Amino acid sequence: MPDYEIDELMCALMAREIRDGDWVNHGAVVPLAGAALMLARNTHAPSLDCFYLGTVFNSVNPAENDLAKMIFEPKLALTTSRCLISHYDILSFTLRGRCDFQFLRPIQIDAYGSVNVSVVGSRDAPKYRFHGIAVADAMVLVNRVGLYVTEHEPRVFVKELTFRTGTGHIEAGAWRKRVGAPGQGPVSVTTPLCVMDFETEDRRARLRSIHPGVSVENVVAATGFELVIPADLPESEPPTAEELRVLREVVDPLATRKTEFKQWRAEANARLAAAGAGR
């Protein structure tokens, strides 16, 4: 049996998408992406720069690493940061093509990495309505976008999006050159079953790796479009002992990341509530 859980594997794989020296837009403070960002900073990417979402101002490179502490005491992100930056400045910085990487968690993804974070159901009378913001611009402007989802099902990976909030690699990516988009768009998708990328001639999703214990058949059955499957498909590299130590002891000892997983959400929220009440 592995000595890690799927949230830890996904966190390590996502962290490895970040390169040392990157400027990372953290955006909405989603805990799995936040844990991956902090894990990267405390392992292979000590020179990354990032902002941590605030209210009026955002913290640049907060020295605090523990995600739960910054949830309980938001001022820690401000008082330990190198500087503060406004939303206006972040948008200006991103519009100039200066953001290297950003995580996004869509509700739907198609075969070319286009995403929906707007509505489920009809546009006129949607069954569910979502935020729809800070995605279309990132998909165009950010140099590399790392997509992730915590459920790998056909309703997530669809042939046709209900609504296209952000554009991936349609026209084999030619549209980006045509409009002068500075970003590369999505470069990977991390799921509980596998990692995908778009390193094909037509920029269609292909399997980069499958997680230990998962079969290609498992992934195909859970995906609503046809995947490109390499002949020599590796397993996803498990988290190292050091990655697990940093994640469990330094970055996220209260496992805030588990709140993004349906099977652990109630337990994780209860644990955080208890910890917050005891402070």
Q: Domain 6-277 is of which CATH architecture?
A: 3-Layer(aba) Sandwich (3.40)
Q: What's the pLDDT score for residue 56? A: 63
206-257 confidence digits (pLDDT tens) = 999 999 999 999 999 999 999 999 999 999 999 999 999 999 999 999 999 9
pTM: 0.95
91-127 confidence digits (pLDDT tens) = 888 888 899 999 999 999 999 999 999 998 887 888 8
Domain extents in the chain: 6-277
The answer for residues whose C-beta is within 8 angstroms of residue 145's C-beta and 6 or more apart is 101, 102, 103, 104, 138, 139, 183, 184, 185, 186, 187
Whether the pLDDT of residue 1 is over 80: the answer is no
Determine the residue type at 271.
R
What's the CA gap between 154 and 108, in Å, rounded?
9
Scanning the chain, the segments in alpha helix (DSSP H) are 6-15, 31-41, 67-72, 75-79, 87-95, 136-141, 174-179, 216-221, 241-245, 265-277
171-197 confidence digits (pLDDT tens) = 999 999 898 888 899 999 999 999 999
